[in-house]
């Protein structure tokens, strides 16, 4: 059975959003399991403000941004600036989920 090709998500950030995201991703503590994905995002954002990432990386980025926003020690202006980035990420999450649900009907286990 052939392995399906991974669909990449494209997220276009403004220059200041990219710098802000890098700073917060590097300063935030996240689980060791997410580290490779966060490093990948930081590397890609450092190279270009338009990043293409796979599904696991997209999920890790979404989770990490939500975690940063929920952190009580994060300044309110950082949270406000992150919400625009989170919106762009969640648009891609929504699009990927719609594609998955359209391609693979859910089976009932009953």
pLDDT score, position 90: 96
pLDDT of residue 91: 96
Domain boundaries, the chain: 9-103
Q: Is the pLDDT of residue 4 over 70?
A: no
Residue 50 CB: number of other CB atoms within 10 A? Answer: 12
pLDDT at 97: 87
Q: How many CB atoms lie within 10 A of CB 56?
A: 13
Residue 108 has pLDDT above 70, yes or no: no
Condensed to tens digits (0 to 9), the pLDDT of residues 22-80 reads 999 999 888 889 999 999 999 999 999 999 998 899 999 999 999 999 999 999 999 99
What pTM value is reported for the model?
A: 0.84
Distance CA 65, CA 19 (A): 14
Q: Which two tokens stand for residue 96?
A: 């990927």
Question: Phi and psi for 2 in degrees, rounded to 5?
Answer: -70, 145
Paired strand residues for 12 = 50
Integer Cα distance of 11 and 41 in angstroms: 11
């Amino acid at each position: 059975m052939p392995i399906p090709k991974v669909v990449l998500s494209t997220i276009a950030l403004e220059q200041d959003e990219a710098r802000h995201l890098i700073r917060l991703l590097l300063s935030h503590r996240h689980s060791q399991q997410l580290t490779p994905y966060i490093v990948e995002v930081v590397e890609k954002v450092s190279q270009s403000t338009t990043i293409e990432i796979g599904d696991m990386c997209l999920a890790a980025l979404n989770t990490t941004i939500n975690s940063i926003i929920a952190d009580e020690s994060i300044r309110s202006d950082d949270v406000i600036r992150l919400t625009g980035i989170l919106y762009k990420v969640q648009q891609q999450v929504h699009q990927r989920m719609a594609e998955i649900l359209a391609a693979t009907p859910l089976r009932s286990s009953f």
